[in-house]
């Protein structure tokens, strides 16, 4: 069981590394790098992104959000159309 979990973790790591290696957008790579720096990412994002996050949280509280299942379904359809 433990070996299976380790294998799954290693496979996920390999998939993530492969996806990162495909990225050509320097801005996106900078955003990903922030995640790995270990500092509080909130302190590193700009005010526009903070405002966007606050807007999204407010919309969610007001019931205006899109359910996770719908987002994932739409994302899968989009990804499938690119293949």
Query: pLDDT per residue over 45-70, tens digit each?
Result: 899 999 999 999 999 899 898 888 99
Confidence at residue 40, expressed as pLDDT on a 0 to 100 scale? 81
Torsion angle, CA of 35/40/44/49, rounded to 10 degrees? 80
In angstroms, the Cα distances linking 58 to 49, 63, 64, 73 are 14, 9, 9, 24
22-38: average pLDDT? 88
| Enclosing domain of residue 55 | 2-82
C-alpha 41/C-alpha 30 separation (Å) is 12
How many independent structural domains does the chain possess? 1
Question: What is the pLDDT confidence band of residue 4, given thresholds at 50, 70 and 90?
Answer: confident
- pTM for the full predicted model: 0.44
Q: Is the dihedral of CA 40, 10, 79, 62 positive or negative?
A: negative
């Amino acid at each position: 069981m433990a070996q299976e979990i380790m294998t799954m973790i290693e496979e996920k790591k390999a998939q993530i590394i492969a996806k990162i290696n495909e990225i050509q957008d320097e801005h996106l790579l900078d955003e990903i790098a922030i995640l790995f720096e270990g500092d509080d990412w909130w302190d590193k994002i700009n005010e526009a992104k903070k405002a966007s996050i606050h807007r999204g949280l407010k919309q969610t509280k007001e019931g205006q959000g899109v359910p996770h299942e719908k987002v994932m379904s739409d994302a899968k359809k989009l990804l499938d159309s690119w293949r």
